[in-house]
Amino acid sequence: MDVKTYKSESALIGILLSGLAMSVGWGFRGDYGHEAGAMVPGALLGLAICLASGRQDWWCRSTIMAFCGAVGWAFGGQMSYGKIVGYTAASSFPDVAYGYACLFLIGALWAGIGSAILALSVTKSRSYLENFAGPLVALWLGWFAMDISGLTEWLAETWYLHDTDWFAALSALLIAGAYAIVVPRSRPACFFIMLLASGWWAGYIILTCLLGLHMTPPRSDNWSGCVGLFFAIVFYLVRKQNRAALNVTLFGFLAGGIGFAVGDFFNMLGRAQWGPIGRFEALQGLDYWKWMEQLFGLIMGLGVGLAFLRHLRPKLAPQDEDQASGNLNTIGLIFLLLVMMWANLHKNAINWAKGKHIPEHLFGIPAQWWFLIVGLFLSAMILIAIIRHRRQDLPLAPPSDFGRGQLLFLIILWIAVAGAFAQALPGMAGKGAFFLHVTFWITGGICSLIVLVLSGKPRLQPEAQVIASDQFWMPGLRYWISWLLVPALIILLAYLTVSSHDEILPGSHLRFTKDMQQ
């Protein structure tokens, strides 16, 4: 096998790993929701791309790539799409087409923003990335203080502002600005955070407040803020001439849109009991909403993996390691193994208590407090391990960068799979829920096998390496032509969906033709 064939096959394996990792991660996100749930598929995707890259310079940034993936995909978690899916369940073509167009936009924004943040981890120098450590900690502490003090809830109730997360954007602007004044060396990172927050406000004010655009009234209009945030990122990448990051951002934008639209189409076929689904009992009652979510992740992951592993990996010149691995690695591990897990898995105990699957008290102590105690012990164990690892005094940690990335991927993956399984276990008598979680374990097992069989040996890099600012990275004609097919895809999906059933499906919503269908 020649080198070219070997690299092509390894890239295909990496793209497959990216799709499967985000698929199972998105299934987890469906159970936990919002920004915290979206962090898990983002982290898994970042690690999948890193491990499959065959690049030593990416392996040494495995924690940072996972961290950037988690943060990047968290942004999209503020957008609501439940009612939009309901539009596609209607029987009128305008409503269905509108629903698919909105889903395309939400998926595109989600993956576009996520791809941009992830791309920074491999297109910027180590010193640039390390500047984010302090501001991000300050921002998280500020949000955490707002949440536990009740300030977030009070602000949301006092100034509704179309049910948006305006207080998060405003606090990010203020905290980053204050940090830039106090710590001048972190100003590049602070200015980036302030740019994103300002972009969010610009999108919300222009699209929702001035133009009066509401995607799913009376649901949240966070989508408009995300539009502004996305354009702020694109503006930043263009201004800094980071054309390599811009390249994968645009490809991610397209892949995310296609993933959301196509994924929902299969959900509609399941709801309509179309064709073989209606004829074979084995295909009924399989919770096609959850299959839609996994298909979201699969297509999005395949597209983003393709952009990074086929476009970026072979040619991108390594970035400067002009600073020793420092605080960002440690903060990334704390975020991925403690903050991200607490933000999601605490919901298990809450749901068990609501469903009366655990006793209210044990020895006079509320049952949820026992989970808190156990969680604190586990967190202390993880924190000690991170501290010892930082001091290079943890024999448990693999000695190689690749090995540590493997271990981190498997830890995040199986905590997520086991956590989702434990939450769903009390209600797993139904065929749909049981089969769904079986597929989580099977997909997780396939991902684990792929990760474990990767060689961990750096592959030969091409002689000609292209810097991130080179014109080489600008998308070609084929990319822009593909956008001409997007309207055709939306129209086709809408036509096929309307043709698959004669009546409005359960859970449908109407946007334009309400009077006609009453």
Greatest alpha-carbon span in the chain: 70
CA atoms of 26 and 34, how far apart (whole Å): 11
pLDDT at residue 173 in the model: 96
Q: What is the pLDDT of residue 464?
A: 60
Q: What is the DSSP string of 381-420?
A: HHHHHHHHHHTT--TTS-SSHHHHHHHHHHHHHHHHHHHH
Interatomic CA distance for residues 390 and 429, integer angstroms: 45
pTM (two decimals): 0.93
Retrieve residue 185's tokens.
């060396």
pLDDT in tens, 72-96: 999 999 998 888 999 999 888 999 9
For residue 56, give both structure tokens: 């030593």
pLDDT for the residue 8? 59
C-alpha angle 68-166-37 in degrees, rounded to nearest 5:
40
ω before 218 within 30° of 0 (cis)? yes
End-to-end CA separation in angstroms for the chain: 65
CA dist., res. 406 & res. 91, Å (int):
47
**Alpha-helix runs per DSSP H in 150-273:** 151-158, 166-182, 187-203, 222-239, 243-271
Residue with tokens 């990760």: 451
Confidence at residue 459, expressed as pLDDT on a 0 to 100 scale: 73
Kindly report the number of other CB atoms within 10 A of residue 279's CB atom. 10
Are the CB atoms for 494 and 76 separated by under 8 Å? Answer: no
Closest CA relative to residue 301, chosen from 16, 17, 19: 19
Domain ranges of the chain: 3-124+242-323+430-517
Q: Which amino acid is at 55?
A: R
pLDDT tens digits, 372-409: 999 999 999 999 999 999 988 888 889 999 999 999 99
CA distance 193 to 177: 9
Three-state secondary-structure class, residue 300: helix
Q: Report the C-alpha gap between 29 and 289 in whole angstroms.
A: 13
Measured distance CA(492)–CA(13) in Å, rounded? 31
Helix axes 166-182, 151-158, angle to 10 degrees: 130
- How many residues make up the chain in this entry? 518
CA 488/CA 346 separation, integer angstroms: 43
The predicted structure's pLDDT at residue 477: 87
Instruction: Output phi, psi for 180, to 5 deg.
Output: -65, -35
Predicted local distance difference test score (pLDDT) of residue 274: 82
At 3 the pLDDT is: 47
Cα 37-351-22 angle, rounded to 5 deg? 20
Instruction: Quickly count: other Cβ atoms within 10 Å of residue 398's Cβ.
Output: 13
Q: Which positions of the chain have pLDDT values less than 50? A: 1-3, 5-6, 515-518
**pLDDT value of position 460:** 53
What pLDDT score does 294 carry? Answer: 92
Q: What is the pLDDT of residue 518?
A: 37
Q: Quick one: which of 236, 234, 230, 232 has its CA closest to 257?
A: 230
Neighbour tally for 193: CB within 10 Å: 22
Q: In whole angstroms, what is the distance from residue 494 CA to residue 491 CA?
A: 5
Question: What is residue 71's predicted lDDT score, i.e. its pLDDT?
Answer: 97
- Which pLDDT score is estimated for 290? 86
Compute the C-alpha angle 74/77/81, nearest 5°. Answer: 155
